[in-house]
Amino acid sequence: MGNETDGRGGGGIASRRGFLKAGLAAGGAALAGGGTALAREIGNPDNLPPNVPDWSRYLGDGVAVRAYGKPSQYEGHVIRRDVEWLTASRESSVSFTPIHELDGPITPNGLCFERHHGGIAEIDPRDYRLIVHGLVEKPLVFTLEDLKRFPRVNHAYFCECAANSGMEWRGAQLNGCQFTHGMIHSVMYTGIPLRNILAEAGVKPNGKWLLLEGADAAGMTRSVPIEKALDDVLIAYRMNGEMLRPENGYPVRAVVPGWEANMWVKWLRRIEIGDQPWYHREETSKYTDLLEDGSARKFTFVMDAKSVITSPSPQMPLNHPRGFTVISGLAWSGRGKIAGVDVSIDGGRNWRRARLDGPVWNKALTRFYFEFDWDGSPLLLQSRAIDETGYVQPTKDELRKVRGVNSIYHNNGIQTWHVMSSGEVENVEVS
């Protein structure tokens, strides 16, 4: 199904000019060229006038028949997916956000990636308890109702697994951004600044580290320095307005903005304050970055600036052979706001500034677009994020020179998609 008009007459040219002007007015970077128009003239016999299908003839379902709504039956392919060979069991595994099927800066709750170590804890909120103890003046225990009495704040933050893109350290492996970059989501949290909880308990002067423990069967634990806890960590119980989903920590999880998702302990049951880190499994044998010389980087908490083009991508090919083309992607940084995103269509030789659209939040996913007139020749698409600290997303080779390829963590290198003339897309490396 093509998208060309017959291209006859001055009307088409005038219309094209009008479109470009409008595109620029929207902040776009439409390029002049011999592109095709984006609509079909009704005069063309291939272009049917509006049909009158059954949904215009017969009554549909009434209100509240779907008391809690779900997507259209035609969107059944837009789901989280796992990779069966990647892990030994689904209870300790990962599913990936279908970022190629989404747009804008918000991830809908039903599609947020999962990473569990003992499966989903199904917590009865009446029996939920959070204990705060250790180096505090007054050990405390909170019910969910207690927590809901604290002043709340609302922030959107990205949550990215440290192993996101981890398979790509050793070259292009997975053919789709859902799998190369889908261990990320970004939602609007409602929660309590952790510093307010700690103020209730009264942290003793020698309290320097926190242990966060989950109530899942894995009893997930991570050590968090007190400076971060007093800065922007949230004890969150809502995402995008409603209560957290079970797979995202219902009823209460830690939100540790900009830091690796493994520290965002779900089903949070215990906060212990101590004078040093605990060196538990998830911060020693896991979630450290093994270097070439056999030493390991530890406590590499921050997720550095990164970006990926979500459309086109291997699972979302271009469905038109040439002409005006919209590139859509995501950028984020654990160190603050995104300052800009550059896009290359020639494998990194030339870069042009993309258009950021929608909110540009601190430590949250930012949507970018790059619009251009595709001549139908093969492309090597890349994006690179620049954050407000001035940090520029590196190439994968630059990262490998410094860190080797032993680790599966913290790969924030530039991703390359090879777009063929057919519109098909594959995951490649350029050197």
Cα separation of 395 and 385, whole Å? 11
Footprint of a second copy on 231-290 (CB under 8 A): 238, 240-243, 245-247, 250-251, 267, 269-270
Contact window for a second copy (CB under 8 A) among 94-102, 283-291, 377-385, 390-398? 94-102
Q: What is the smallest separation between the CB atom of 401 and a second copy, expressed in angstroms? A: 34
124 lies in the binding site for a second copy (CB under 8 A): yes
Q: Can you tell me which of 13, 31, 34, 90 binds a second copy, judged by CB under 8 A?
A: 90
Least separation in angstroms between residue 216's CB and a second copy is 7
196 CB-side CA count, 13 A = 15
Q: Does 116 bind a second copy (CB under 8 A)?
A: yes
Report the alpha-carbon distance of residue 183 to residue 303 in Å, rounded.
12
| 234 DSSP assignment | E
Pick out residues in 173-202 that bind a second copy (CB under 8 A).
188-190, 193, 195-196, 199-202
Q: What is the CA radius of gyration of the chain?
A: 24
Residue 73 Cβ vs a second copy, minimum distance, rounded to whole Å: 7
Q: Binding residue for a second copy (CB under 8 A) from 32, 45, 62, 285?
A: 62
Which of 6, 13, 26, 349 is in the footprint of a second copy by CB under 8 A?
26
- Nearer Cβ to a second copy, position 140 or 290? 140
State how far the Cα of 365 lies from the Cα of 381, in Å rounded to an integer.
Answer: 20
Contacts of 65 (CB under 8 A, 6+ apart): none
Rounded least distance, CB 358 to a second copy, Å: 3
d(CA 431, CA 382): 13
Q: At 213, is the secondary structure helix, strand, or coil?
A: strand
Least distance (Å) between residue 177 CB and a second copy: 15
Query: Minimum Å distance from CB 207 to a second copy?
Result: 14
By CB under 8 A, how many residues form the interface with a second copy? 147
Residues 325-364 that bind a second copy (CB under 8 A): 325-326, 328, 357-359
In sequence order, what DSSP letters do the residues of 128-157 get, joined into one string? --EEEEESBSS-EEE-HHHHTTS--EEEEE
- Whether the Cβ atoms of residue 364 and residue 157 lie closer than 8 Å to each other: yes
Q: Which CB sits closer to a second copy, 106 or 399?
A: 106
How far separated are the first and last CA of the chain, in Å rounded? 36
Q: Which is nearer to a second copy, 57 or 294 (CB)?
A: 57
Binding window for a second copy (CB under 8 A); candidates: 23-31, 291-299, 395-403, 423-431: 23-31
Please pick, from the candidates 172, 184, 210, 215, the single residue that binds a second copy as defined by CB under 8 A.
Answer: 215
Residue 176 C-beta: closest distance to a second copy, Å = 15
Q: Per residue, what are the HEC states of 350-379?
A: CCEECEEECCCCCCCCEEEEEEEEECCCCE
Tally of residues, the chain? 431
CA dihedral 307→313→319→322, nearest 10 degrees, is 60
Distances, alpha carbon 49 to alpha carbons 45, 53, 58, in Å? 10, 12, 20
Q: Does 51 bind a second copy (CB under 8 A)?
A: yes
Binding mask 129-168 for a second copy (x = CB under 8 A): xxxxx---xxxxxxx-xx-xxxxxxxx-------------
